[in-house]
Amino acid sequence: MLTKFFRVSLLLLASHASFTTSADINQALLHEVRTAENKVRDDARKPLQTLSFFDVTPQSTVVEVWPGSGWYTEILAPLLADKGKLYAAHFSDKFTLLPADYMQKGRTAFQTKLASHPVYKNVTVTEFAPLAGIAIAPAASADVVLSIRNQLYMFDGENSLKHALANFYQALKPGGVLGVVAPRLPDQLLTSDWKKTGYVPQQLWLKLAKETGFDFEASNDLLINPKDTADHPSGIWSLPPSLAVDEKDKAKYRAIGEVTQMVLKFRKPRN
């Protein structure tokens, strides 16, 4: 009976911890720093469910890989401001497969965002380049590394992914989580040009992550969009928010919605 009691108590504690974390993430979602333009994408991107699935808590040390304009930074910074830590691994000058002016513009806009509100004061900006040995955070310091909506394969195929995974592995503590959100290629389109479309097979991530040393823990279908056929003229960039299509077709692609994303949870072994 005593053993049963402790089991029940542990389950209740875990449930309470999950509930508390959800409440904290919800509070971050309501923070004043979030723009109306970004909030409108919550239904498509499901940040509460995504961050909960990846074990992000207010106490976590998190690395956000290529934060872009800061869509997730607007959520992570308030969530981690008091008890956690956020590293934002932005573009690096050592990465030559993107235009230098594009990367500079992105970094400058991101730094401007960080200077716009005190909630960002504890965000540390680092760098990431999938083909360069740059530390995205101190070795073995991160509870969670997040690679969300990054198209790493398009640069140098499997080589890009292998370098990135090795970098993520180095930054994580033993037992830490790698959370991947990336466009998922349907099995029936495996012969398509993955670099051109931006869609990559889920099995490729699983294979290369295993080779790196990660344990695959779980996947989640929360970002599946049944309207996304993955055969668009400009690949993933046909869909919102990019809408890289003719003006006359934009309404059509807005109606489809955002790209189907795989949501994969890996863990660095504890020993």
pLDDT in tens, 68-97: 999 999 999 999 999 999 999 999 998 888
Coil vs helix vs strand at 10: helix
β-bridge partners, 64? 88, 146
User: Identity (one letter) of the amino acid at 233?
Assistant: P
Structure tokens at 247: 């003006």
Coil vs helix vs strand at 177: strand
Contact 64, 73 (CB under 8 A): yes
Q: What is the pTM of this model?
A: 0.92
Cα–Cα distance, 165 to 20 (Å, whole number): 31
pLDDT in tens, 226-247: 999 999 999 999 999 999 999 9
pLDDT in tens, 36-60: 999 999 999 999 999 999 999 999 9
Please name which of 205, 211, 216 lies closest in space to residue 147, comparing C-alpha atoms.
Answer: 205
